Amino acid sequence: MILVKVDSLSTQELRNIAEEEGVVGFDALDRDGLVAALREYFEEDEEQARDSSVNRRFLYGLTDYREIDKDIQKLPGVVDLPESYPNTEIHLLYKNPYWAYAYWAISKSDRKKLEESGCGLFLTIRIENNDEKSVFSIPISIEDTEWNVSLSSKKGTCTVSLTTEQDGKSLELAHSSTLNLIDSYYLDNPEEIYKNDNLFKIYLSQIANKDGEVEETPLIDEILSVYEKGVTERWKA
Amino acid sequence: MESVNNINLILHAHLPYVRHLEYPRFLEEDWFFESLNESYIPLLRMLEKLSKENVRYKLSICFSPTLLTMLEDDMLKKRFINYMDLHIELGENEVRRLQGRTTRALAQKYLKDLRENLKYFEENGESIIDVVKKLRKEGHLELFTTAATHAYLPLYREFPTAIRSQVIVGIETFEKIFGYKPDGFWLPECGYYPGLDSVLSSYGIKWCQIASHSVVSAREKSKYGGYRPVKLPSGLVAFPRDWNITSLVWSDRSGYPCDGDYREFYRDIGYDLPMNYIRKYIHEPEVRVFTGFKYFAITGKENDKKEYEVEKAMKKVSLHVDNFIYHIKRAGLMISGLDVDNPVFNLCFDQELFGHRWYEGIEFLRLFLIRSSLEPSIRLTTPSGNLNDGRIGTESLYINDSSWGQGGYSDVWLDDKNIWIYRHIHQAIERMEELTQRFPSQGSLKGRFLNQASREVLLAMSSDWPYIMHDQTSVTYAEKRLRNHLGSFNVVYSAMCKNTVNTEWLIKAERRNAIFPDIDYNIFNPMK
């Protein structure tokens, strides 16, 4: 499944993802090369996820009538939805510890002002964690309506806003509500993980299946990789 | 004193609201009829029988408000009886067709089950609700509720009125049918975000379930790793689902239901037999669907299937139940060795798996309840029972965003296939809030108009639509439904902006989506 809109990401983000996903020779690729490599990677991933193994049953309780959708085209009351809404506003949705999703709309009057002034439009991402504050301003087109937001910190809060410049000053057109990011003890105290052998046995007992496979979530992967590293080092010692 | 394993078997029965009286028969209504015939009725028949046999069992069941509404809908009851009559006729044909063949006995069994299920339904006043009430009264069941239309709540946190409406209508629908307020609330898809506990607590909810991985990644260091209930900041208690034990059943690759001796769900005469034989029992025009008449075992991954043998499958069920109990006891022993006595195992499942997708699932539950009730190291309990049990403590944790969906967060309901829906649903919520403030106390026609608008918003929020889009199954239907609800909401919004009511439209819309009859649109008022 393609979780990210690959071509909406910065070159640096593409490089980071390519590295994480183990794309061979990622550091020698230019932006187009990275986009192509990641598209290929995620498509392969999607094909694997759609493996039609006969044992993949009861994914969902509802019977799959996928082949016959064409026969239910005419339900009453179905209308087209508006392409856009009249107010300038922006919303931020939490997807997972690494990604959020922002979408927005710009009112006709704001759009007109922006076009007339020729000022740039920015998506400003604020991530705050106690005293640390990171602000990223990404230039966007007036036609853009959404963005996958990479969460550079897992902890703290995140807000996004639509901003422009007026007389050299930043002017906010709309801002989202604040999203609380993950606040995890073990992410804050990785050194603690090594000291909790019995505790991790309890944890693993509930989140691992009979074959020893652990429930797949990115945060658990991160915590357990630290734990495994500690166990391996102790074993070597 | 020896440690005892407390088992909360928690079943979640939910279907989206599907009711299309404008058609003589409608494909997706079969979701409801199949579940009623293959899962809900067989489960209740089995539980009643255990009760008569004095088996000391306990479990918890959540019936979603949309499902409860369908179960109590007179027209759907009639259509279910038609569905059963049609399938009984097909069963009679099958028994004749299979004269002299080994599969005839299975056809006879299907026919007998259909007749008995229909008789049971009719003898209980064309309803299963009274049986559920009776089993609860006898102390076997804890009943609880969920969000009004099973909305995936983390993606609506920005709209407190929408969250509140889902909770209030969920509680009210439950209370109207069962006559009391529920203590528990099933978080749709185990979707939790910090702060949701406060909303639930403020409406008298005492417990909910959460995803298993949420405990290890909590803000505080958990001592019990999910084997004790978790007290959330508001005081609401969360019961972490045990992934280790549930995956023995739930895994779609290696769970018990994948065993080769079990019945193959996908080989059905609705697809296999010639059109001139099966036409009457499928959908018009010649749309092949599942009929429930299936004669093959899963066998293996190839298409070459062996005939299904009931006795062989039942022997396998018995083995799997023993294996299931063995794994619980083994986990209990391991945990008690690490100083966690009297652990709580929360085994959360979708009800429709048992009987519908996994044909042998009801028998699995039956044997599990019987054998667990006789097992000294196992105590069948309910979450509310745990809360009143002094031997079972809780631990206080701050739980982060989490769900039981793939990846553990919101990716499933926010992927490239369904992400577009939120800007429209959120807009409808904002506009619904606006309507409540502009027209705060409307009676009669305008009140009905606004009430219908609030129903349409709630129905659009159902988690089923984005899930179906994600899963790429009945995508067109899901998309049409979503557009239908949002379109209907927009009819009200546009009319109210002109201070008019489209009476003819309203009457049709109320008939079409006859859900939550007592809803008051003011629940969307942000000032309340």
Per residue in A161-184, pLDDT (tens digit) is 999 988 888 899 999 999 999 999
If asked whether residues A26 and A96 sit together in one domain, one would say: no
Share of chain B above pLDDT 70, in %: 100
Contact B409 A94 (CB under 8 A): yes
- Residues A159 and A136: beta-carbon distance below 8 Å: no
Please check the confidence at residue A69 and state whether its pLDDT lies above 70. Answer: no
Neighbours of B367 (CB within 10 A): 18
For residue A1, is it within any domain?
no
Q: Name the domain count of chain A.
A: 3
End position of a domain, from candidates A143, A159, A180: A180
The Cα B339–Cα A202 span in angstroms is: 10
Structure ipTM: 0.93
Q: Which two tokens stand for residue B514?
A: 């006859």
If asked whether residues A48 and A120 sit together in one domain, one would say: no
Choose from B64, B284, B423, B468 for mutation: most chain A CBs within 10 A: B423
- Residues B219 and A183: beta-carbon distance below 8 Å: yes
Q: Is the peptide bond before B233 cis (omega within 30 degrees of 0)?
A: no
| Pick from B31-45, B131-145, B389-403, B475-489: least confident | B475-489
| Pick from A61-65, B227-231, B352-356, B498-502: least confident | A61-65
Amino acid at B169: V
If asked whether residues A174 and A191 sit together in one domain, one would say: no
Contact B289 A65 (CB under 8 A): yes
The Cα B13–Cα B350 span in angstroms is: 6
Choose from A50, A53, A63 for mutation: most chain B CBs within 10 A: A63
If asked whether residues A163 and A208 sit together in one domain, one would say: no
Q: Is A180 at the interface with chain B, CB within 8 A?
A: yes
Cα of B13 vs its chain's centroid, Å: 3
End position of a domain, from candidates A163, A180, A197: A180
Residue among B154, B235, B194 at smallest CA distance from A184: B194
Taking residues B308-313, report their average pLDDT: 97
Residue of B nearest to A189 (CA): B221
- B207-210 and A157-166 strand pairing: unpaired
Q: Is A28 at the interface with chain B, CB within 8 A?
A: no
CB contacts, 8 Å: B473 with chain A: 60, 62, 64-66
Share of chain B above pLDDT 90, in %: 88
A150: CATH = 2.60.40.10
Q: Which domain holds residue A46?
A: 6-72
Q: Is B151 at the interface with chain A, CB within 8 A?
A: no
Cα of A39 vs its chain's centroid, Å: 16
- Residues A158 and A123: beta-carbon distance below 8 Å: no
Choose from A207, A219, A225, A226 for mutation: most chain B CBs within 10 A: A207
Q: Which two tokens stand for residue B321?
A: 């139940």
For residue A55, is it within any domain?
yes
- B141-146 and B59-63 strand pairing: parallel
Q: Is B499 at the interface with chain A, CB within 8 A?
A: no
Neighbours of B454 (CB within 10 A): 24
- Residues B155 and B448: beta-carbon distance below 8 Å: no
Share of chain A above pLDDT 90, in %: 35
pLDDT tens by residue, B384-442 = 999 999 999 999 999 999 999 999 999 999 999 999 999 999 999 999 999 999 999 88
Place of tokens 């703290």: A156
Place of tokens 């996994």: B358
Choose from B15, B217, B268 for mutation: most chain A CBs within 10 A: B217
Contact B423 A211 (CB under 8 A): no
- Residues A100 and A92: beta-carbon distance below 8 Å: yes
Taking residues B160-171, report their average pLDDT: 98
- Residues B242 and B345: beta-carbon distance below 8 Å: yes
Contact B244 A203 (CB under 8 A): no
Half-sphere exposure of B213 (CA within 13 A, CB side): 23
User: Based on the number of CB atoms within 10 Å of its own CB, is A211 exposed (0-12), middle (13-18) or buried (19 or more)?
Assistant: exposed
Could you list the beta-strand ranges (E) of chain A: 89-96, 99-105, 121-129, 132-140, 146-150, 157-166, 169-175, 179-180
If asked whether residues A67 and A96 sit together in one domain, one would say: no
Helix/strand/coil for A136: strand
If asked whether residues A100 and A145 sit together in one domain, one would say: yes
Predicted confidence at residue A59, as pLDDT, reads 38
Predicted confidence at residue A48, as pLDDT, reads 46
CA distances from B86 to B78, B80, B132, B292 (A): 12, 10, 27, 12
If asked whether residues A98 and A143 sit together in one domain, one would say: yes
Q: Is B220 at the interface with chain A, CB within 8 A?
A: yes
Could you list the beta-strand ranges (E) of B65-113: none
Please check the confidence at residue A70 and state whether its pLDDT lies above 50. Answer: no
Among A19-23, A192-196, B138-142, name the most confident range. B138-142
Cα of A2 vs its chain's centroid, Å: 11
Contact A53 B301 (CB under 8 A): yes
If asked whether residues A99 and A165 sit together in one domain, one would say: yes
Q: Which two tokens stand for residue B295?
A: 């004669």
**Of B194, B216, B422, which has the smallest distance from its Cβ to A93's Cβ?**
B422
Predicted confidence at residue A13, as pLDDT, reads 65
What's the whole-model pTM score? 0.90
- Residues B410 and A179: beta-carbon distance below 8 Å: no
Residue among B14, B72, B63 at smallest CA distance from B462: B14
Helix/strand/coil for A235: helix
Please check the confidence at residue A63 and state whether its pLDDT lies above 80. Answer: no
Contact A186 B217 (CB under 8 A): yes
Contact A199 B225 (CB under 8 A): yes
If asked whether residues A160 and A114 sit together in one domain, one would say: yes
Among A211-215, B126-130, B335-339, name the most confident range. B126-130
pLDDT band at A233 (very low <50, low <70, confident <90, very high): confident
For residue A151, is it within any domain?
yes
- Residues B246 and B368: beta-carbon distance below 8 Å: no
Please check the confidence at residue A18 and state whether its pLDDT lies above 50. Answer: yes
Phi, psi for residue B192 in degrees, rounded to 5? -130, 145
Distance between A101 CA and the closest CA of chain B, angstroms = 8
For residue A78, is it within any domain?
no
Predicted confidence at residue A71, as pLDDT, reads 44
| Pick from A151-165, B114-128, B342-356: least confident | A151-165
- 3-state helix, strand, coil split of chain A in percent (to 5) is 40, 25, 35
* Mean pLDDT score across all residues of chain B: 95
Amino acid at A83: E
Please check the confidence at residue A68 and state whether its pLDDT lies above 70. Answer: no
Predicted confidence at residue A97, as pLDDT, reads 92
- Residues B432 and B453: beta-carbon distance below 8 Å: yes
Half-sphere exposure of A36 (CA within 13 A, CB side): 6
For residue A192, is it within any domain?
yes
For residue A134, is it within any domain?
yes
Share of chain A above pLDDT 70, in %: 77
The Cα B85–Cα B103 span in angstroms is: 22
For residue A81, is it within any domain?
no
pLDDT band at A47 (very low <50, low <70, confident <90, very high): very low
Distance between A226 CA and the closest CA of chain B, angstroms = 13
The Cα B249–Cα B243 span in angstroms is: 10
Predicted confidence at residue A108, as pLDDT, reads 93
For residue A232, is it within any domain?
yes
Contact B414 A95 (CB under 8 A): yes
Q: Which two tokens stand for residue A137?
A: 């301003």
Taking residues A8-22, report their average pLDDT: 70
* Mean pLDDT score across all residues of chain A: 79
Contact B216 A60 (CB under 8 A): no
Q: Is B481 at the interface with chain A, CB within 8 A?
A: yes
The Cα B403–Cα B152 span in angstroms is: 9
Task: Go through chain A and tell me how many residues it has.
Answer: 237
Please check the confidence at residue A141 and state whether its pLDDT lies above 60. Answer: yes
Task: Go through chain B and tell me how many residues it has.
Answer: 528
Please check the confidence at residue A72 and state whether its pLDDT lies above 60. Answer: no
Distance between B112 CA and the closest CA of chain A, angstroms = 23
End position of a domain, from candidates A72, A97, A115: A72
pLDDT tens by residue, B322-356 = 999 999 999 999 998 888 899 999 999 999 999 99
Q: b/e map of B27-57 (b: 16 or more CB within 10 Å)?
A: bbbbbbbbbbbbbbbbbbbbbbebbeeebeb
Please check the confidence at residue A60 and state whether its pLDDT lies above 50. Answer: no
Domains of chain B: 5-67+127-251+311-396 (3.20.110.10), 417-524 (1.20.1430.10)
DSSP state of A103: E
Q: Is B66 at the interface with chain A, CB within 8 A?
A: no
If asked whether residues A163 and A223 sit together in one domain, one would say: no
If asked whether residues A64 and A94 sit together in one domain, one would say: no
